[in-house]
């Protein structure tokens, strides 16, 4: 049985920077359980990227797991950096976020190595300001999701975010972002909302080792039972045994 996985960083197998060697992501745990996994997920990607990969590869998969990312991510393919050092440049979700990113980039030394970064984002800013059509984007989102469901009605489609952020209205809301933020709130307390300004995530799929296991176990049960309720309302936990340094690296 070949399992095809599609989605963003909540499913991608590429290691987060400085990830501890003994920390294993949920997709790897499925492989360790004896399943053959073809993982087409890519960190920072939007729904169109996952939808396109789905249509290119789903025919060769016996089972399909599709993770719906944040709605309306504008995916920027950074071809100058094959090592994907700049994963953080891959997607933008809002005009205000884009403006802040441009300001931040203009202060970075590595712009001398990657001079096109700011012009690319300024081009997106101009597109969103003068050309973009909100109704068209919402229609594209809905049509892609409907197409996935129609093409593979047997697929396990999970939302990585709540319905407001994913625009995916379904009772099946695994909401991996919520599981991720449980850790952040635990380790950083009242400063949790600004954690990414000071720290980098070291967690596979942005989940601690306990929650990666919880998700893997639920998906494996679904593979045996075909019951989508197996991955609904999962009992996410905080890892109280590990210090924050295990899951986060302080930015120098």
Whether 186 maps to a domain, the answer reads yes
Least confident span in 13-17, 82-86, 102-106, 218-222: 82-86
- 113-147 pLDDT, tens digit per residue, is 667 778 888 888 898 889 989 899 899 999 999 99
- What is residue 103's predicted lDDT score, i.e. its pLDDT? 80
Looking at the chain, the whole-number percentage of residues with pLDDT higher than 90 is 46
For residue 23, what pLDDT band results from cuts at 50, 70 and 90? Answer: confident
Total domains in the fold of the chain: 1
- Measured CA to CA, the distance from residue 108 to residue 88 in angstroms comes to 14
- What is residue 83's predicted lDDT score, i.e. its pLDDT? 47
- What is residue 149's predicted lDDT score, i.e. its pLDDT? 95
Whether 41 maps to a domain, the answer reads yes
Are residues 74 and 40 in contact, defined by beta-carbon separation less than 8 angstroms?
no
- What is residue 85's predicted lDDT score, i.e. its pLDDT? 46
Q: Closest Cα partner for 8 from 68, 96, 75?
A: 68
195 against 213, higher pLDDT: 213
Backbone angles phi, psi at 219, to 5 degrees: -65, -40
Name every residue whose Cβ is closer than 8 Å to that of residue 151 and which is 6 or more positions away in sequence. Answer: 54, 55, 58
- Measured CA to CA, the distance from residue 199 to residue 223 in angstroms comes to 36
Whether 57 maps to a domain, the answer reads yes
Whether 147 maps to a domain, the answer reads yes
Whether 117 maps to a domain, the answer reads no
- Average pLDDT value for the chain: 85
- Measured CA to CA, the distance from residue 223 to residue 221 in angstroms comes to 5
- Measured CA to CA, the distance from residue 15 to residue 180 in angstroms comes to 16
Residue 151's domain spans which residues?
2-93+140-250
Are residues 247 and 187 in contact, defined by beta-carbon separation less than 8 angstroms?
yes
Whether 7 maps to a domain, the answer reads yes
Measured CA distances, 158 to 24, 82, 209, 252 (Å): 20, 29, 20, 36
Whether 36 maps to a domain, the answer reads yes
Q: Closest Cα partner for 72 from 97, 55, 54?
A: 97
Res. 211: pLDDT tops 90: yes
Report the CATH number at residue 145: 3.40.50
What interhelical angle do 134-151 and 47-57 show, nearest 10? 30
Q: Closest Cα partner for 183 from 205, 163, 168?
A: 205
- 55-87 pLDDT, tens digit per residue, is 999 999 999 999 999 888 877 665 544 444 445
Whether 100 maps to a domain, the answer reads no
For residue 36, what pLDDT band results from cuts at 50, 70 and 90? Answer: very high
Backbone angles phi, psi at 39, to 5 degrees: -105, 115
Q: Are strands 91-92 and 36-39 parallel, antiparallel or unpaired?
A: unpaired
């Amino acid at each position: 049985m070949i399992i095809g996985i599609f989605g963003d960083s909540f499913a991608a197998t590429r290691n987060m920077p400085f990830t501890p060697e003994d920390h294993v992501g949920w997709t790897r745990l499925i492989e360790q359980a004896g399943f053959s996994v073809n993982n087409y997920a890519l960190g920072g990607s939007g729904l169109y990227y996952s939808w396109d990969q789905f249509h290119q590869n789903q025919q060769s998969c016996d089972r399909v797991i599709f993770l719906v990312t944040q709605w309306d991510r504008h995916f920027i393919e950074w071809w100058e950096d094959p090592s994907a050092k700049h994963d953080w440049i891959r997607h933008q979700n809002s005009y205000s976020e884009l403006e802040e990113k441009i300001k931040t980039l203009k202060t970075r030394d590595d712009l001398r190595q990657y001079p096109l970064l700011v012009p690319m984002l300024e081009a997106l800013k101009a597109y969103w300001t003068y050309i973009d059509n909100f109704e068209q984007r919402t229609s594209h989102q809905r049509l892609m999701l409907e197409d996935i469901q129609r093409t593979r009605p047997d697929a396990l489609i999970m939302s990585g975010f709540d319905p407001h952020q994913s625009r995916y209205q379904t009772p099946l809301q695994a909401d991996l972002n919520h599981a991720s933020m449980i850790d952040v709130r635990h380790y950083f307390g009242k400063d949790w909302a600004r954690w990414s300004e000071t720290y980098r995530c070291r967690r596979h799929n942005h989940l601690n080792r306990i929650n990666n296991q919880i998700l893997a176990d639920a998906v494996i049960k679904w593979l045996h039972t075909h019951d989508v309720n197996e991955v609904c309302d999962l009992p996410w936990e905080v890892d109280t045994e590990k210090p924050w340094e295990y899951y986060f690296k302080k930015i120098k």
